[in-house]
Structure formats: structure tokens, C-alpha cells
Structure 1
């Protein structure tokens, strides 16, 4: 993949994100896995964190905050969106894209 060229595969989208953003870490300091959801105009890239549990093994809510990153298939530009569920994050990207054109 040439520098600054748009991605053509999910792996290329992940490479772009890794080159431009800090690698998210798990609580033990190891790198978090990055997942990709391809859609018609981009790739949604996000870190996967294992569910948190307390000392008795009860599930705990995810910490607030965080973001997902959309990589444009057309330009290779990246945009952060809130850490919403996948379809909501993609819908927000589309809405913001429409408002900026």
C-alpha cells in the first residue's frame, strides 16, 4: 500500500489506524485486538476489550469513553466516532459526512 493511499482491504485499514493512533492496551499492558467492520464507504476499526469482572466474578460495566475510528475507502482519511455500537457509530459517521459536504 502506497503512503496516504486509500485502503482496499480491512487489513490495510488497520495498518492506517496503527500508523496514526496509539495502540490501545489491555489492563495488563498487552496490546488490545483491533476488529474491523467493513461497510460500503469505509472501515470501522475498534479495540476489543474482554469483559471486566469484580473479585467475585460478577461482570462490571465497561469504563466510559473511548472511540472507534472510521477509515474512508475513498480517501484513506480517518475520523473518530464515539464508542457506540457498530451500527450507531456507522450511522453517526454517515450523518457527519453528509453535513460536511
Structure 2
């Protein structure tokens, strides 16, 4: 994703969160962290791209895979972020559904996911 694809990006600050892409159907069920990461990459700017994350990480838990990004440090750590926020992605091990969660630390995001996740009954 190029700088021109990102509105409101400021060099040295985390990029604008990726645009929301409605889920047209569940993803295939991932069988391991590598497959979950491949699905998760579709929901973030390219790692290392201008304004993109410096890395994507997978946190496996009982009913899903949490994908979260790390962002390069801001040039001025005392400045307020231009675009606070962002999101984590969870891919369900039960039905492949992709969910967006706030950019909480992994343990807090997993706890929130347990509170709000309802498997599809279709």
C-alpha cells in the first residue's frame, strides 16, 4: 500500500488504520499460526511499507488466533498520535469468522473476544 493510499498519514507516526472491508464469508479454518497470519495479512497494510506496520504477530488461544501489528516508534515520542487507535484481527478456530477488535494488549483483546464472540449458527 503506498502513501497515496493512506489518508491522513504523517511520517513517523502510526498509519491510519486499514479501511474496513466487509467480510463476505468466513475464511477457511486456519490449522496453525502460519495460516492464520496469511489470513491476517489481508487486513493490514504491507509490513515495512511506508506508513505500514513494522511487524505482524500471532497470538494463538483456545478458540482463535489474534493477529496484532507493531508500529515503528514515533519520531517525537512526546507528540500526540495523529491517528490513535487501530485494531487487532481475530480468526475463529470454530467457523473461520474474522473479527476486528480494539488495539488492546493481546491478553485484554482475547478476554474481550471471549465476552463478545458468538459463533455463526448457519
* TM norm structure 1: 0.74
Aligned length: 92
Match status 1:9 vs 2:32: yes
Q: Which runs of 5+ in 2 are unaligned?
A: 1-25
Q: Which runs of 5+ in 1 are unaligned?
A: none
**Which structure carries more strand by proportion?**
1
What's the counterpart of residue 53 of structure 1?
Answer: 75
Q: Relative contact order: is structure 1 or structure 2 higher (C-alpha 8 Å, sep ≥ 6)?
A: 2
**Which structure carries more helix by proportion?**
1
Tell me which stretches of 4 or more aligned residues in structure 1 moved more than 6 Å.
Answer: none
* TM norm structure 2: 0.62
